[in-house]
Amino acid sequence: MKHRIANVVVIVIGIAAGGLNPSHHAWAYEEERVADGATITGRAIFKGAVPPPRPFGLIVYPDIELCERISDGKGHRLLRDFTVSKDGGLQDVVVVVEDVKQGKPFPVSGPKIAIKDCSFTPFMSVIRDRQNMTFQNHDSVIHDIQTYAIEDNKRGDRIFDRAALAESSLTQEIKLPKGQKVVWVQCGKHSFMQTWAYVVDSPYDAITTQDGTFSIQDLPPGRYRVTAWHPFMKLREQTIEVAPNSKVVVNFEFGKQETK
């Protein structure tokens, strides 16, 4: 039975975890030399009032002395699902050029998540299906790493549930159910500890920076579908045509009232 993610539904905008209905591809990505590759740059913008962070009362959680190192000073841990710059740049949006069959080298190593002061860093990662995810626990306490596939904003199949021992490293292969692309991680002991990963099929992806910008290089000339995904917003999509050695600007706007 699927269960809705705890505390997520309280966000004031309608949450649609990408509005995704992806499917796995029959083809495998092939590495080859890219001549006259194009560059895609752009920015993700958030319009309107930014949803406030979610508060978690630390008094109900273990390891208070450690976890309160990052708090509001009033006994609450704040989970910021939206990081927006003063001029509206939205951080942690995954931008993907979809269905690229061949091109530049595809990194073998998977994401590395740091655990410190009862917090996961980074908030957003990309990963290949059947790739390892590594958790480096710098805390002096054990954390319970619970990892799930997310479909239609609901907690789906559990990928794994393992303890990250104090001051140690934990590595686990991520095997997603067919057709799913979203990975959500939470600490079973501290539910304010959350991080996300998005599955990609090629190295032509980027995660927006603090000012909302991104850049994707060495894209073979052609016509492509470019998507932009944030875990609490609907998937954005544009179709572009890139010529040899060209520079194409692709911007995405988020923030209007959204429902599935």
Domain boundaries along the sequence of the chain: 3-25+32-254
**Order of strands across the sheet with 182-187?**
3-4, 154-164, 143-151, 182-187, 194-199, 124-127
What is the reported pLDDT for 257? 58
What is the token pair recorded at 165?
């021992």
What is the reported pLDDT for 177? 86
- Specify the pTM: 0.88
Query: E strand or H helix at 67, and its extent?
Result: helix 64-67
What is the reported pLDDT for 258? 63
Which CA distances in Å does 57 have to 35, 64, 72, 77, 142?
Answer: 54, 10, 10, 6, 20
Q: Do β-strands 143-151 and 154-164 pair in parallel, antiparallel, or remain unpaired?
A: antiparallel
Question: How many Cβ atoms are within 10 Å of 132's Cβ, its own excluded?
Answer: 15
What is the reported pLDDT for 173? 96
CB 35 within 8 A of CB 245: no
Give the span between the Cα atoms of 19 and 74, in whole angstroms. 36
What is the token pair recorded at 103?
């091109």
Residues of the chain with pLDDT under 50: 1-26, 259-260
What is the reported pLDDT for 137? 98
CB 190 within 8 A of CB 141: no
Report helix, strand or coil for 60: helix
CB 103 within 8 A of CB 79: no
Cis previous bond, 220, omega within 30: no
| Architecture of the 3-25+32-254 domain | Sandwich (2.60)
Give the span between the Cα atoms of 181 and 21, in whole angstroms. 9
What is the reported pLDDT for 164? 98
What is the reported pLDDT for 252? 98
Give the span between the Cα atoms of 137 and 169, in whole angstroms. 6
Q: Which residues contact 65 (CB under 8 A, 6 or more apart)?
A: none
What is the reported pLDDT for 21? 41
Return the closest-CA partner of residue 56 out of 78, 83, 72. Answer: 78
What is the token pair recorded at 70?
């990052």
Q: Which residues contact 248 (CB under 8 A, 6 or more apart)?
A: 38, 39, 40, 41, 240, 242
What is the reported pLDDT for 108? 82
What is the reported pLDDT for 16? 40
